[in-house]
Amino acid sequence: MKSLNDLQTPALILAPEALEANLASMSRALPGERLRPHVKAHKCTALAKRQQAAGHRLFCCATIREMEGMAAAGLGQDLLLANEVLDARRLGVLDARVTVAVDSEETITAAARGGVGEVLIDVNVGLPRCGCPPEGAGKLADSARRQGLGVRGVMGYEGHIMGVADRTKREEACEASMQILLRAHEQVGGELVSAGGTGTWDCNRWASEIQAGSYALMDTAYKELEFPFQQAFWVLATVISLGDGFAVADCGLKALGMDHGNPTIEGARVWFCSDEHITFAPEEPLKLGDRIRVIPAHVDPTVAYHERFHLVEGESVIDDWSVDLRGW
C-alpha cells in the first residue's frame, strides 16, 4: 500500500470519512429529489456514485463532457445540463434522460435539432451570465413546445449571492432572486423550479430542487459561511526551498483555483502563488522535503487541474479515483 510520501506532488488528496460525513449531512437535510448534485465541483463519476448511494439520483452538469461521462457510468437517470449549447448533437444520442437549459430561440432550436427531448427555461435572476429576461420566459416556453420539446420548468442561479457572509442578507437576496424565478415559472409551467448552490442550500426554500455541488468537498470560501460540512480534500505539496522567514512549496497557479483568493496553509501565512510555487511564512520552522496541506479557496477549478483523487486514511493511500469528467 502506498503512503503519502510515495506521491508525486502536487497531489489531489481526498479524505473518505469527511466526504461520507458531508454526503450524509446533505442527504438528511435535502433528501432524494430535493437535491440535484452538481458534478462540476468534483468531475468524478466514482464520487457521483457515492452521492447516488446517499440517495441522490438526479444530477446536474456544466459541460457536454460531464453529461457523456455520467451517462457512460450508468448515472443517467435524470441529467440536467445547466448550461446553454448551440450544438446538442452529442446530447441527443446519450442513453440517459437529458434536459438542457435554454435561454433563447437559438438554443431551443439547437436542442430540438440535436435530438434533446426536454428543456428548462433558464432565467436571469440577478447574475449577469446566462438566462433570459424574466418577462420573456413564457414566450420561450411556448416556442420550445411548438418545436416538440417538453418544458420541465425553470432554472435560475443566484450565484451572485453565494458568498455573502451575513446569513440574513444572503437569505433576503436569495428570496428576491427566487421571487423573480417564481414569477417566470407562472408563465412557463412545468414541475421544476431548479436553483441554488452550496451557498444557499439551507436558505433557498423556494426552489423545488437545489443544484449544490461544493458541499461534498468544501473549500475555504464556503468554510467562512460556517456550514456543517467538513473539509474533505486538499492539495499535498512538498517544501522545495527555504528563505529568510519564508518557505516555498511545489504547488502554484497550475494546481489551484485562485479566483476566490489565496489558498490556506494551516500554521502559516500565504504570501503569493506563482505558476509552480506557493510562497508562505510558516509559524514553525520547516525543512526541505516536508509535506504540507494546501487548502484551496475554490474547489471546482482546483479539481479540474488534476487527473485523480488519492484517497487517504492517516498516512496511507487506500485508493485512487479518476477525475474522469475533465475536459469539454
The beta strand positions in 64-214, using DSSP E, are 79-81, 98-102, 118-122, 150-156, 192-195, 209-210
What's the mean per-residue pLDDT of the chain?
Answer: 97
pLDDT at res. 169: 97
Question: Would you say 83 and 63 are in contact if contact means Cβ atoms under 8 Å apart?
Answer: yes
Report DSSP letters for 251-310, one per residue. --TTTS--TT---B-TTEEEEEE-SS-EEEEESS---TT-EEEEB-S-HHHHHHT-SEEE
Q: What is the pLDDT of residues 257-270, one digit of tens each?
A: 999 999 999 999 99
How many CA atoms are closer than 13 Å to the CA of 121, on its beta-carbon side? 34
- Residue 47, helix vs strand vs coil: helix
pLDDT at res. 89: 97
Flag residues of the chain having pLDDT under 50: none
Buried b (16+ CB within 10 A) or exposed e, 227-260: bebbbbbbbbbbbbeeeeeebbbbbbeebbbbeb
Query: Does CATH number 3.40.630.10 belong to domain 2-12+229-322?
Result: no
How many H helices and E strands in the chain?
9, 16
pLDDT at res. 116: 98
pLDDT at res. 158: 97
Instruction: Provide the whole-model pTM.
Output: 0.96
Question: Would you say 213 and 61 are in contact if contact means Cβ atoms under 8 Å apart?
Answer: no
pLDDT at res. 270: 98
Fold of 17-215: TIM Barrel (3.20.20)
pLDDT at res. 1: 81
The domain ranges of the chain are 2-12+229-322, 17-215
